[in-house]
Amino acid sequence: MDLYEFEGKGLLARLGVATPTGLFRTDPAGAGDAGDSIGYPCVVKSQVLTGGRGKAGGIAIVADRVELEREAARILQLEIKGRLPVGLLVESRAPQGRELYAAVVFDTSRACPAVLFSPQGGVEVESDSSRLIRVPVPVDELDAITPQWVTERLLPALPAQDAASISTHMDAVARLLANLVVAFCEYDLELLEINPLIASSDGLIAADAKVTIDDDALFRQREGLVRAERPPLPELESRAKQFGLNFVDLDGEICLMANGAGLNLSLLDAVAFHGSSPANFLDTGGGASTVKAYEGTRILQDRSLRDSRVRARLIMLSLAITRAGEAATGIAQAMSELADDPVPTFAVVHGTGADEGKQILEDKGISVAPDIRTAVEWAAAARRGNGAGVRTSTEGGRA
């Protein structure tokens, strides 16, 4: 679960990390009262779980109460990437200073937390990845994490000019990062990010906070951290969650489903490489059971039928433990229930029982390609109205 900025800053306050004075409010009058308490000029920020708030107009600097209430009313009605805010964060302006970047993430390759630090933060953090330092924290060293431990590993990794330029703040940075690692583990987090981290004459101040809690740990971490009501999930995302599927709606032409996040990401890249765009991300998980494949296909069908821009569906099965025939049976069942399907469906089937899975899908009129590249080519060239799976290439598969 992602925390809203004001919730994330509440966690930072528990850790003793300085943040701008801020108050969460849900209406313009309340925002005005908060501004009067904090003082002007101040900042009002949309509390919405998406990026790009500044560019979308979701953050405003205001000079007085009249302006604050006007901007608060506007921002509360402002949709950003299809989401309305749950409220507003009214806070004092962060002091001027150098912008740094600090975070703790989970390093999947080493199965341990990792500290991320860059002497260049803010919107420029991604412009020069060579300055982003990653320091893994081995599990057997978590109990020994100290500012000295961080300093000994961070300083040698920094370019000499960067180390020199932040030398006056290095002790504070090391203490902060050590505290973030401890909090990352204590609160079952997947991400704890401060960007920008302002280094000023007053010390370090977190101007923003992004925090993600492991969903499986919410039963023990929700209380005290989660303060705002979460708006209901969009319908298809909610349906997917009920069956253990991961669905993300996108704005493209080809609906996608695969068993595994890695396969889905490969499909996203392949679709983009062939000049098209994905309409969604739908992950059944590593084991695509008959039920999951059936429910996923139903969601895929609904997504494609609601959007006339969608030209095709593309399903990728690469199974080891679950037999391909089980997943294919679920897909075939869903396809049987949809009459007069105007959206062609293509598939790739690899792994245990692949031949059985291919036959089941082909019997339902789905064109099965020999590889991802061919399947993506077919889907990218498809035209809506061609039926369940009209092949658009002469290479492999079955029309």
257-272 pLDDT, tens digit per residue, is 999 888 899 999 999 9
Cis bond upstream, residue 20 (ω within 30): no
Contact (CB, 8 A) for 3 and 18: no
pLDDT of the residue at 322:
85
- Reference 25, options 93, 57, 71, 83; nearest CA is 71
Total count of residues recorded for the chain: 399
**pLDDT greater than 80 at residue 221:** no
Report the amino acid identity of residue 286: G
pLDDT of residue 391: 52
User: pLDDT band for position 120 (50/70/90)?
Assistant: confident
Which residues have C-beta within 8 Å of that of residue 160, sequence separation ≥ 6? none
Report DSSP state, residue 233: P
Q: How many CA atoms lie within 13 A of 344 on its CB side?
A: 23
* pLDDT tens by residue, 65-88: 999 999 999 999 999 987 899 999
What is the architecture of the domain spanning 21-92? Answer: 2-Layer Sandwich (3.30)
User: Where along the chain do its domains lie?
Assistant: 21-92, 98-221, 235-381
Provide the percentage of residues in the chain whose pLDDT is more than 70.
Answer: 95
Please give the pLDDT value at position 173. 94
377-399 average pLDDT score = 64
pLDDT at residue 124, rounded to an integer: 66
Q: Give every strand in the sheet of 246-249, ordered side by side.
A: 246-249, 280-283, 254-258, 312-319, 345-351, 367-369
Q: How would you write the chain as a 3-class SS string?
A: CECCHHHHHHHHHHCCCCCCCEEEECCHHHHHHHHHHHCCCEEEEECCCCCCHHHHCCEEEECCHHHHHHHHHHHHCCCECCECCCCEEEEECCCCCEEEEEEEEEECCCCEEEEEEECCCHHHCCCCHHHCEEEECCHHHHHHCCHHHHHHHHHHHCCHHHHHHCHHHHHHHHHHHHHHHHHHHHCCEEEEEEEEEEEECCEEEECCCEEEECHHHHHHHCCCCCCCCCCCCCHHHHHHHHCCCEEEECCCCEEEEECCHHHHHHHHHHHHHCCCCECEEEECCCCCCHHHHHHHHHHHHHHHHCCCCCCEEEEEEEECCCCHHHHHHHHHHHHHCCCCCCCCEEEEEEECCHHHHHHHHHHCCCEEECCHHHHHHHHHHCCCCCCCCCCCCCCCCCC
Show the tokens assigned to 377: 């080519």
Mean pLDDT value across residues 145-172: 88
CA–CA separation, 75 and 90 (whole Å): 12
Reported as a pLDDT band with limits 50, 70 and 90, residue 218 is confident
Q: Are 68 and 45 in contact (CB under 8 A)?
A: no
User: What pLDDT, in 10s, does the model give residues 177-203?
Assistant: 999 999 999 999 999 999 999 999 889
Could you tell me the end-to-end alpha-carbon distance of the chain, in angstroms, rounded to an integer?
43
Q: Which distant-in-sequence residues (6+ apart) come within 8 Å of 250 by Cβ?
A: 277, 278, 279, 280, 281
Q: At what angle do helices 65-76 and 28-38 cross, to 10 degrees?
A: 140
Please give the Cα distance from 347 to 202 (Å, whole number).
59
Round to whole Å and give the CA distance between 368 and 315.
Answer: 9
- How far apart, in Å, are the Cα atoms of 352 and each of 4, 110, 340, 349? 43, 29, 32, 9
Q: What is the mean pLDDT of residues 18-42?
A: 97
**What's the fold here for domain 235-381?**
Rossmann fold (3.40.50)
pLDDT at 52 over 80: yes
State the chain's mean pLDDT as an integer. Answer: 90
Kindly tell me if the per-residue pLDDT of 157 is higher than 90: no
CATH code reported for the domain at 98-221: 3.30.470.20
Nearest CA among 130, 380, 349, 168 for reference residue 274: 380
On the question of pLDDT at 394 being above 80, the answer is no
